[in-house]
Structure 1
Amino acid sequence: MDSLRQKLRPKHQLLILKCYPRLPKNSAADVKPNGSELSYLLYYASTRRSKLQKVGSFLERKTEHDVYKAQSARVLVTLQILTALLENKVVGEGSPFALIAPYVMRIISGILQNTNDISLLEATQITWSVFCKHQDQAVLAADHEYRELYEKVVGQYAEFAHKAGAKKLGKNTTPVPIHDGIRLREIGLHATKSVISSDALAFESGRQLLTIAIPAVLSNLRGDNAAYLEHLVQLSKQNEDEEKDKAVNRRQSMATIRTHTGGERTSADVDPRAAEGTAQDADKLAEEGVALLALGCLKAAFTSENRAQTRSAIISVLRYLGDLQNYRRPQTSEKAASDQLVDSWAVKAFELCTTWTPVQDRFILLVTTVETLVHLPLKERDLRQHVLYATLVDSVLRSDLNLIGLSVMDVLLGLIQQTLRVLQYSGQPTTTAPSGDDLRPTTSSGSGVGGTVPSEAHMGLIDNLKACIADLATHVYYTDQISDMISAILMRLKPSPAPVGQQNPVATAAAIEEPRSAVNEVASNASLSARERPNSTSGFFSFDTARQLALELVRDIIKVANSSRARNSSGVADSRNPVHITIWEGTQWLLRDPSADVRMAYANALIIWLELETKKSDFRLDVCKPSPRKKAHEPTAGAPANGTTLARRAVSNASATKDRVQSNATKKTSSQQTFLQLLHLANYENALQFAATSPRDIVMQSTLLATLIKRLGINAVASGLPMIFALQEEIARVESPVGKVRIGTLVHGYLWALVEVFDFEQESVGKAILQEVARRKGHGIWVREVEYPPLPLHSIKNKMVSNQGEKVLAEQVVAHEELKAFDDRQGLVDAVLEHYEATVVSPAPSAPGSPGRSFTLPTTMDRTGSYLTAKPLPDPAVLGKSRDAMMKRWTREDCLAAIAAMAPKSVSLSGSRSSPTQVLAAAAAAAGAGNHRTLLAAANMGQRNENG
């Protein structure tokens, strides 16, 4: 009967059955298919492609029967037959592979689902690895049923690989022992690594598998803190080094090679940690091996040069880390500290993923994380995820990893928008905040939206976002990056934002005179849609807390850009351009902001800029000579014609370059003068307004003015000293005795700084100033915090309230007229200029011109070394102008008129572009009449006309 049944079988079934050797049931021997029969089966399958489906169908039915009957040996032979078919050059490629692939996956899936033998599960790894290498991407993308079957098998392996939950075999309901569970996780990780390393992830249809594989891999890497991951990375490197050493070892001599006689292995052949300790120690060692395997899987997901795969992988990682944060919610304050350690593990995992990614693709991880953060709803339950993602971004930004290709400005704007969202909706934690252009602030003043103060949790998130923005300055990849970053922030603080170099000084002056109107103007800009906003400056800092935060961002960016960390990172931090003074044009009104915290933040940011971004050459006077006429370089009539055209062309190009450089220097000098004049105007108005009520503002102004003298020298004194003497004249008209004392302190504090900076303590004028300062201190009519060197602003108390004794003492002193004014202005100016000339360093001798030149060309071009370029030796004419400026009588009206005269000629403040002269005259008249509201209206109208 058996022989008859064999004769009636189809040929493919006979060939398959002949491949199985004769073995006892459940034999433990190392079974293999019969070699000659297997070769003939492969030949038959490669020449009869139409029979592949029948071969697969028969093997599927036979495997299902053998698994049910627990015929493990036969199942092992079946898996080897499938492996041989897949490795065949004909069957393993193209359409033949597509014919047999579904049967292979169903066979493997059936074994994973039904067998109770772990050895069978381990045997499927080889077949699955070969299957993944030969995966047909076209079929995977086109055949929906085939893709679902593939995802099912991947999911089964991922379930084995996942660390959470008890492991079970087949239909059993009893969990397997710990050591068997570790073996199952190894099986799942090996299979998962085969999937990640295959070409299936190069296409969209295959990248969805990462959402299944990545969580299983990361679950095996979970540890208490970042030290666990660092330990695994170190072990992985040691293993790689040992494998390299084994690969390069030469064949050992027979005289020294060790032989194995069948006895026990020596200690050198096994891990010494496995030879000692208990079974639990052995399980820990096995766990370590599984973790190393998982680390290799995660590394394989990010070492690919496929950017789409990298993006999908990091999205899966972020989703897992975010879910992990939601599961670990500390219920008490004691658990909060231990929960922070989990964040360190997540940060280290993210850093490893970034490190493994090819250097040209690392920016993808950062950009994807920022996008995920921005699109995450602002709900209380998601706040921990916000903090986590911000921490991940900051950890990479503050590192020395090369992030070439990163769009710094896009990331900056995204983080600014997110920071504003958190600020605006921190008072409504249960409301989902809209994103983008739907943001609408509800008020333009107060600590936050609607006058609410952000909660502690929201402030923690804001601090993380601030750190991200500041640490963007660690990686500088073009020379003007820091300037662009600061400009993008400051532009959102200006009442009438415009590109750098096009600010209307009249509008700034009007904002200084009417700061509350300027605040409303910023709020009105924020309420416009993105298309209606000037220059598309979305995300205005339209309320007090936002403006304070923006200025703190500017301060932190400058600090980070000048830190050693930025210089040691990859990029052009050492050769970047310094932040130019024109960046600050239009922001002087912030010194007059209604909020004291905003005023302090602005002064602090400006002082940090002066200390870190200015150079020693900025202390010298500016000199901008007119460019020489081209006629001076033209050859005479008797000059030879040979080379005349070339010489004329070279002279023309050189002159054009020099003219362009000098033109830029002239513009920078004009911007410097305008900025300093408006800044001193803001100081003047502040001193009169807050002298009687805010000692904190007086100390802040004294520190700022002293820093201006120290860093900019006569460039700042030229407009600052006349303002100080005008302020001294105002003391007699101040009604409050305390205000008189504080303004007097500000005036003599400025004079004290002049004495110290220009070093004329031994001069009679210097002695007089220092004696008056000492006398006022002795009589208690001096603000104690005003010193030289000035105190850091962060050391100034938030609230400096004068006591009643100070008020009584001030009234008595003023009644006895003990506030002596300083009147030797001429001697002071002479001392400043004399000691300035004495401290100027002589210039280095210029290099001689090259011999044999047939035309005159400058050997070195005049270049602007910084934004306040200065010649080593001042011109007497320039010194004369500086003397006149310092001796000039200063009034508010004259300052406003001078500012109006320096306004761009192409801007019409009255709405007409054709009559700039009349407009300037009207603006000057409005300023002279003290009509600041009219000036503000004119400035706003002119800005609207300028924007079209």
Structure 2
Amino acid sequence: MHFPFTPNHVQLIAACYPPNANLLTSGPDYRPNSQELSRLTYYASNRPGKINKLTSELERRVRVDCKKAQAGNLRARATLLITLAILKALATECRRDISLLSSSLLGSISVTLSSLTEDLEVVARAASVFSAWTTYTDGHLIGADRYVTEEHSSCLQVFSRMGRIDGSSIDHEVRNRTRLLGLSAVLGVVASDVLYYSSTQFLPQITTLIPALIIPLLNVDISTLEHEFSGVKDQPTSPYLSGFRDRPAVERRAASIHLHVDGDKGPSSGDVANTALRALSLLLEHSNANQAGIIIRAVFDCLDDIGGWQKTEHCQWLAVKIADWTQYQYRYAIPSRLVEALVEGQDAPQCSPRHVALAAMIKTVFTSPTPLVNLSTSDIISSLITLTLRRILIDTEDPLLPTLVECISSLGTHVYYADQIQDLAGELVSRLSLIETSGLGNGKTPSDNARAQAVRCLLAALQGLIHAADIHEPIREDNVEETRLRKTATVVSAPTAPSDHHAKPSRRTKVPPEVWHETLTLLCDAQYGVRVDYAAALVSYIKNEIPTFGEYVDVDGVRRTRPLAEGPTRQASTMTGILYGDSTTRLLNALHADIYLLATSSVLGINANPPCSGSSSVPETNGHTPTDPAEGSAQTADDSVNLDSPPASRDNSRRSTAVPPRTRKTSVMLRLMQNAPRRLSASANASASLSDYGNILAILTAVHENLPVRAILTGVPMLLALDGACQPDAATDPIVVQRIRVLKELLARVWLVVGRVWSCPEVTDAAEKALSSQRSTTNLPELPERQPGVLSDPAEPVPFDNGLGADVQMPTWDSEALLMAIVSNSNVQNATGLDRQVLLRRLAAQWTPESAYKESLEIQTSYDGFNDSISPLRKVAPALMHIDNVSLQSLARSSRGVGVTDLREALEGRRSMSNPNLSNRAPSLSTLEHTSILAHGDSPQHHPHPLKPVRSRPQSRNKLGNPNDVRDVLNKLGIGKQNGASMLKSSFPILQKSEQKYANL
């Protein structure tokens, strides 16, 4: 019944309700009269100014009915359901003017949710209205309108709380229904502009939403998650939800949320997890890098609140899916935030489940097949290394260390530019060198165990990093050498890599010997655990990583020449690099010097105090030698190593750290090698254990098998020198005799490898005869296998058996005969390109560890033809161009100023001589006053090809220079007559003008 003076909008609303007698029987749909509802929506859509009155009246009815329904009034409940249906119809039909409905609509939903939270049917109707609003709004009122923002936040909190509801008192079916209702409303927000429009309101909304999306995923097992994820992947979200933000409001369709029908099989936990996965994937697909960082931070806060870090497997699975769902160009934000969160707790006294889970998540994300472009690997590896060192300072047996090593190693699976692995390896090597020379202490007393553990962790990470980058390299069956090396490299697969690896090969550059060269001194470390780990890493590097230009062996392990593959030009180029000292040759020179030091020296370690010549000391057999207190207490001022050093200790170590670590290391190693004994005796016994000699055998075997040409030229002189040090005398005690016997057996086994590689039966027969002549051979311990990227327990050395007497039989052979067999071997001569006499002079030259170490240092020679600082065009131009060429002179232009030296050279006639590019005739290169590039020592044996000084032109100091050259230099200095057309100006133009001014006065 219509009362007079009733407003029209009120009459239109009242006509939509059934009669009071039919309210209770209008269920279960509880829908308004369709004809009257169409009239109401037509009125509202054509008169936007009346929308505010209509929604205000509907909100008033909702508030009244909520109070009555909360008290148990069924008629009020039915009226409330119909009113909510009218609000949804208005929001759908008046979508262009949705901002006019937002205030009253959100107020009505908020009141309904706060009053009748337990009534799922009413909540489902309210969620459907809320979903319609989120579909059509553009979100510009969020943050701008305070009331709308507060009401939206209130509704979002209720739906989020419903999505994660939990409790043993609630029926399982009712709980899953409640979760589905809440997640359905949350899904509408995730797919709406209301979440992304305001950057300031994104964080509070995400903080509210994330628990509803994470908790349902943690309540099911991994197998259920994988099953539901496959469903989400195969059947993505409705196109109206996934892409409606790109559609105009007229073409959008709001999802209808219904309550589960009673009597049917209730929703399972998998259905709830499916909805949460769809919402989370949609959220990340629409987020940028900053928003993805906020989301991952909200996930961390949620896991902190609910104690979800205990479920490490769920966290790992979740981290991989979050990275996979994030947009391709923004995925780098996920591992970056994971590393930041892990670094935040680096100073915690104990390792917590949060640390373990975060480290496992980082490792899983890096080893997953998801590409992570724009990832700052250098920053991440620096943070992980610093974190590793801090955890070692807190506890050397921290359970987080193995996972951190795996995290650093897993960075090798993401190679996005050619030199990336080389740069990362360089970062690790620089930290290794710094820790080796300066130690790792807490500012008071340096800890040898902490230093050794730090070195072992970084070594394992370095080996794992290189190995991870080669897991997916293709195998070329046509290359025998590459196939053989690949087989040896993949014997031990990465234990941390999942089954679905990257399918794309890395195509990276190898780690150069210059980078690895800095780590060779670890072979002579004072701690055996460091020595054995480094030996394993070194063997792996030699077999799989080191450049092998011109080095190869056949399938049977024999080094033969390949006339078609290796022509004279290539062989000459290879031998030039080997003879003149390329990076690989320098590495082998230093390696053989370190091996000799390890096998014979009684003092090991960079911080050790080498004894003076002639002093006697009894070393320990396990390699742990006392260190110099003055040098052992030196701490670095770098925060990356000495992390907690107080100012007092840093001031005390300032004198030690004033010397660069590389210079200090070189000085110490030279001093150790100068004091290395030339013959083992009771007063100069070695400190290496039996295991060290087994490690040396493994290293030398890998060198001769993989680098045969360089190994024969750099290694044979060392073998002869080591054989000379193993000559016992009558007064030698049994311990030294046993050590000499082990060394002789080691040399025999190495000679056996050399003979087999070069197919030299004389050497092989002599070595086998020497080994078979012994009554019992020593079982040298094999080098323990180290899985790349895995931090294993420190190994213990096998000591010598002191029960043997002095009458131990020694394996003997004729060293001179072995040398003559090597230099006479046709394979050796063909591979090196040297004849028998030249080979004999080179291999029979006197070898000392300090001379080999000096040859390993990269020294710039004064010979212009081999000076890398000069451009290649400048090197070849004088020899190729025999005519006057003005353009050639442009190659010699320099930015330096003209000085007295130029004037002196012009007066002495050496102006053209000093720069051959400026001469008018073809210059000739002379070796006069140039150091030979083969001069590596002071003895004549180091010069197998001495270069005789040849005077290419007369050197007369008294001959005056060309007047034109002198005049040109004077003009450039501003002393002579100035040429206005000259492009060169005076060095002192201001002073010259002043002098001219005073002269005119």
Among 180, 187, 199, the alignment partner of 2:181 is 187
**Is residue 343 of structure 1 aligned with residue 343 of structure 2?**
no
Q: Is the 8 A contact 1:588 1:678 kept in 2?
A: yes
After superposition, the Cα gap between the structure-2 partners of 1:901 and 1:560, relative to the gap in structure 1 and judged at 3 Å, is closer
What percent of counterpart residues are identical?
24
* 2:359 paired with 1:363: no
TM superposition shift of 1:598:
1.4
Aligned to 1:768: 766
Distance 1:217 1:566 in 2: 41
Deviation at 1:550, TM superposition (A): 0.9
Give how far 1:105 is off.
1.1
Partner of 2:706: 711
Contact 2:432 2:455 in 1 (8 A): yes
Partner Cα distance (1:7, 1:471) in 2: 80
Q: Distance in 2 between matches of 1:292 and 1:361?
A: 24
User: Of 136, 139, 155, which aligns to 1:137?
Assistant: 139
The aligned counterpart of 2:507 is 575
Report how far residue 288 of structure 1 moved: 3.5
Which residue number corresponds to residue 834 of structure 1? Answer: 825
SS of residue paired to 2:158: helix
1:212-247, Cα deviation, whole Å (9 max, x unpaired): 222122222334631221233345567779999xxx
Aligned 8 A contact 2:346 2:391 in 1: no
Q: CA deviation at 1:314?
A: 2.7
For residues 801-816 of structure 1, the aligned pairs below 5 Å read: 801-806=799-804, 809=805, 811-813=806-808
1:469, distance to aligned residue in structure 2 (A): 1.5
Q: Is the 8 A contact 2:220 2:270 kept in 1?
A: no
Q: Provide the secondary structure at the position in 1 that maps to 2:95.
A: coil
Offset at 1:156?
0.5
Q: CA–CA distance in 2 between the matches of 1:471 and 1:901?
A: 33
Change in 2 beyond 3 A, CA 1:925/1:375: same
Distance in 1, matches of 2:574 and 2:811, equals 46
Which residue of structure 2 aligns with residue 86 of structure 1? 91
Report the CA distance shift for 1:112/1:881 in structure 2 as closer, same or farther (over 3 A).
farther
How far apart are residue 131 of structure 1 and its match? Answer: 0.8
Deviation at 1:368, TM superposition (A): 2.0
> What one-letter code is carried by the residue in structure 2 that aligns with 1:350?
A
Q: Is 1:226 equivalent to 2:222 in the alignment?
A: yes
Q: Cα distance 1:289–1:472, how it changes in 2: closer, same or farther (>3 A)?
A: same
* Contact residue 310 and residue 364 of structure 1 kept, 8 A: yes
Aligned twin of 1:446: none
1:100 aligns with 2:82: no
Give 1:785's aligned amino acid: L
1:575-609 deviations in Å (ceiling 9; x for gaps): 33233222212222212222221122221111011
Match of 1:421 among 390, 399, 411: 390
Distance 2:753 2:769 in 1: 14
* Residues 62, 325 of structure 1: alpha-carbon distance in 2 compared, 3 angstrom cutoff: closer
The gaps in structure 1 that reach 5 residues or longer are 167-174, 245-273, 329-341, 427-452, 496-517, 528-539, 624-654, 841-872, 908-913, 929-948
Over 3 Å counting, the alpha-carbon distance change for 1:829 and 1:76 in structure 2 is: farther
**CA separation in 2, counterparts of 1:482 and 1:714?**
27
Q: CA deviation at 1:110?
A: 1.0
- Structure 1: which amino acid aligns with 2:410? D
CA contact (8 A) 1:722 1:890 kept: yes
What is the aligned partner in structure 2 of residue 27 from structure 1? 25
The aligned residue for residue 552 of structure 1 is 460
Range moving further from structure 2, 31-40 or 216-225: 31-40
Of residues 750, 753, 756, the one that matches 2:750 is: 753
Following superposition, the deviation at residue 751 of structure 1 comes to 4.1
1:823–1:662 distance in 2 versus 1, CA, 3 Å = closer
Task: Note closer, same or farther for the CA distance 1:42–1:415 as it changes in structure 2 (3 Å cut).
Answer: same
CA contact (8 A) 1:619 1:715 kept: no
Inter-CA distance 282–297: structure 2 relative to 1 (3 Å threshold)? same
Structure 1 pair 833/409, CA: closer, same or farther in 2 (3 Å)? farther
**Any residues of structure 2 matched to 1:139-154 within 5 Å, and which?**
139-154=141-156
Report the counterpart of residue 694 of structure 2 in structure 1: 699
Residue 164 of structure 1 contacts residue 219 of structure 1 at CA under 8 Å; is this kept in 2? no
Match of 2:202 in 1: 206
C-alpha distance in structure 2 between counterparts of 1:81 and 1:574, whole Å: 60
Query: Are residue 162 (structure 1) and residue 159 (structure 2) matched?
Result: no
Residue identity in the other structure for 1:489: L
Residue type at the aligned position of 1:544: A
Which secondary structure state, in structure 1, belongs to the residue aligned with residue 24 of structure 2?
coil
2:383 partner amino acid: G
Aligned to 1:594: 526
Q: Residue 422 of structure 2 aligns to a residue in which SS?
A: helix
Rounded Cα–Cα distance in structure 2 between residues aligned with 1:383 and 1:177:
35
The 8 Å contact of residues 19 and 37 in structure 1, kept in 2 or not, is answered as yes
CA separation of 1:680 and 1:31: change in aligned 2, threshold 3 A: same
Q: Which amino acid aligns with 1:894?
A: S
Gaps of 5+ in 2: 70-75, 241-260, 476-499, 554-558, 562-568, 603-685, 869-900, 902-928, 940-1001
How far apart, in 2, do the equivalents of 1:883 and 1:571 lie? Answer: 50
Kindly indicate whether residue 894 of structure 2 is the aligned counterpart of residue 889 of structure 1.
Answer: no
> Which amino acid in the other structure matches residue 161 of structure 2?
E
**1:443 counterpart residue number:** none
Distance 2:151 2:174 in 1: 27
Per the TM alignment, residue 733 of structure 1 is displaced from its structure 2 partner at its CA by 7.6
SS for the counterpart of 2:807 is helix
Change (3 A) 1:667 1:472: farther
Partner secondary structure for residue 418 of structure 2: coil
Partner of 1:731: 726
| Residues 736/22 of structure 1: CA separation in 2 closer, same or farther (3 Å cut) | farther
Aligned to 2:301: 319
* Residue number in structure 2 paired with 1:843: none
- On the 8 A contact 1:555/1:604 being kept in 2, the answer is no
**What SS does the aligned partner of 1:686 have?**
helix
- Secondary structure, aligned partner of 1:573: coil
Q: Deviations over 1:135-176 (max 9, x none)?
A: 34332133344323211110001111113237xxxxxxxx76
Counterpart code for 2:825: E
1:69 aligned counterpart, secondary structure = helix
Q: Aligned equivalents of 1:405 and 1:177: distance in 2?
A: 48
Alignment deviations for residues 262-286 of structure 1 (CA, whole Å, 9 cap, x no partner): xxxxxxxxxxxx99xxx9x945x54
Residue in structure 2 matching 1:670, options 559, 576, 582: 582
- 1:824 maps onto 2:819 in alignment: no
In structure 1, the residue corresponding to 2:342 is in which secondary structure?
helix
Contact 2:717 2:844 in 1 (8 A): yes
64 and 325 in structure 1: CA distance in 2 versus 1, 3 angstrom threshold? closer
2:755 and 2:764 in contact (8 A); partners too:
no
Letter of the 1:772 partner, please give it.
Answer: A
Query: Is the contact between residue 356 and residue 400 of structure 2 (CA under 8 Å) also seen in structure 1?
Result: yes
Aligned-pair distance for 1:802? 2.4
Count of aligned pairs: 709
TM-score of the superposed pair, with normalisation by structure 1: 0.66
Contact 2:592 2:718 survives alignment (8 Å): yes
Is the Cα–Cα contact under 8 Å of residues 130 and 185 in structure 2 kept in the other structure? yes
Query: Alpha-carbon deviation of 1:793?
Result: 7.7
**C-alpha displacement of 1:392:** 1.4
Do 1:111 and 1:121's aligned partners in 2 also have CA atoms closer than 8 Å? Answer: yes
Q: What's the offset of the Cα at 1:191?
A: 0.4
The DSSP-based 3-state class of the residue aligned with 2:582 is helix
What is the CA-CA distance between 1:463 and the residue it aligns to?
0.7
Deviations 1:10-38 (A, max 9, x none): 44333322333325243333343344544
Q: Scaled by the length of structure 2, what TM-score is found?
A: 0.63
Cα deviation for residue 686 of structure 1 reads 1.4
Amino acid at match of 1:462: L
1:692 and 1:736 in contact (8 A); partners too: no
Partner of 1:742: 739
CA contact 1:318–1:369 (8 Å) conserved in 2: no
Match of 2:963 in 1: none
Q: Is the 8 A contact 2:141 2:148 kept in 1?
A: yes
Aligned Cα RMSD in Å?
Answer: 4.3
Are the aligned partners of 1:558 and 1:612 in contact in 2 as well (CA < 8 Å)? no
